[in-house]
Structure 1
Amino acid sequence: MSRKTIKTRPWDSAEHLQTEDDIAEYFEACLREGGEDHAFIAHALGVIARARGMAQVARDTGISREGLYKALSGEGNPSFATILKVVKALGLELHGSKASA
């Protein structure tokens, strides 16, 4: 009996963020799912920045492209100021709702 080899490739969410609505929905879902995990949110911002073009986001934030890749890798530890700069450059908003008891 022969075995079929299934070829796969890594999933890259950035490839699927085509519109502003896609980006907004993705970011909102990430905030809901991982809102308390700073590395998860940093990684989500990195995905969005790659979808938009990291070089442009770097110019808009005044942070080097390499610095952004490192900070937004999910393993980086960006300052809140960096997060805010990236959120602003991407045209996103941080918002939350009060949890019901």
Structure 2
Amino acid sequence: MATVTHPYNPAELLDTPEARAEYLSLIMADGDPAEISQALGVVARAHGMTAVAKTAA
């Protein structure tokens, strides 16, 4: 029998500002620049790219 997999999107789990802050804190504690870069992208998707773009402008 073949193994069935499902896509995993961590941004779906970061549905509150507190969850996003905790996630970033945990990632930054390790200090790996590649992980921090990836985490920032995940948090941006969780927050909503449109909202991020409006805030940045």
State the TM-score, normalizing by the size of structure 2.
0.82
Instruction: Give the percent of matched residue pairs that are identical in Structure 1 and Structure 2.
Output: 42
Segments of 4+ in structure 1 off by > 3 A? none
Do structure 1's residue 8 and structure 2's residue 5 form an aligned pair?
yes
- Give the TM-score, by structure 1 length: 0.51
Post-superposition shift, 1:14? 0.3
Any gaps of 5 or more consecutive residues in structure 1? Answer: 63-101
Q: How many residues align?
A: 57
Query: How large is the Cα RMSD of the aligned pairs?
Result: 1.3
The residue correspondences of 1:34-49 to structure 2 (distance < 5 A) are: 35=31, 37-49=32-44
What CA distance in whole angstroms lies between the structure 1 residues aligned with 2:37 and 2:28? 10
The answer to which structure has the higher helix fraction is 2
Q: Which has the larger radius of gyration?
A: 1
Higher relative contact order (CA 8 A, sep 6+): 2
Unaligned 5+ runs, structure 2: none
Return the offset for 1:60: 0.7
